[in-house]
Amino acid sequence: MKNLSGKVAVITGGNSGIGLGIARSLAAEGCNLLLVGMDEEKAQRAAADLAATGIKALGISCDVTKRDAVEAMADFAYDAFGTVDILVNNAGVGYGGQVFEIGEQDWDWVMDVNVKGVFQCCAVFVPRFLERGTEAHIVNMGSEQCFGLSDPQFGSMIAYNTSKHALLGFSDALRRDVAPKGMIVSLICPGPVATEIWNAERGRTAEYGDRNPVADGAGDAVAEMGMDPDLVGKITVAGMKDDDFYIITHDYIRGMIQDRYDEAYAAMDKTDRWLKEFG
């Protein structure tokens, strides 16, 4: 999608962090925006700031884990803008802990927001894109953890890691499914970024149990050393304009990718030996 001027983008988690960074870069291209967040007032304030640049921008609240809420949000988008060209599934939460340190409700919270939320939004918007029959672009928020594990200094984050691996598989399958229908899918894979994702406990809803007070502020160190979300936004939009599937923001991730596939490729030597021995 080379020309973004006049297009309409829906960005979940668009009122802060990477989502807002992407919104700013899309606004600079002349793209109109619907910013979606759990905090409607915050989304509307962010939208008002972007509207001051000359585009149309609105903010709305939505719990992306709930199908009826996503349907209502999509209805609002089409009523307000007439169409939608771009869906950015950026909403997500971070959560640390080893498998024996996290509870079932912790696991469900991470999976529901990071994976089910993307599924819900795609399940609602893709049929609308198909009905319209014109070019559309879906952008999903992955992570360096699509390819491997983060630096040990950040500790274990098994639920988050699992959710991002799931999004790699989901996005890969989605692009195969929708490419013949004229849709583009991109997967953003950033390293540490200066956002509040690792402090997402502050916005955890009651259905997922009590907040973990130990987790409050746990992401401050990551935020302090992370990439500027506006830079992530610029890289993302550049990749979108090139119709790239992988949009990777940090150069060291190259080594993570190489290590992952070197290990898997080396395992094939044993496969050859076993097939000769047992086959």
Active site residues: 160
Instruction: Residue 198: name the closest of 110, 73, 66 by CA.
Output: 110
Residue 215: partners with Cβ closer than 8 Å, 6 or more residues away: 95, 96, 198, 199, 201
CB 218 within 8 A of CB 154: no
Instruction: Residue 158: name the closest of 101, 84, 120 by CA.
Output: 101
- Measure Cα distances from 58 to 26, 32, 40, 229 in Å: 14, 9, 10, 20
CA-CA distance, 114 to 119, in Å (whole number)?
9
> Rg of the Cα trace of the chain?
19
Q: Which helix (H) or strand (E) holds 165?
A: helix 158-178
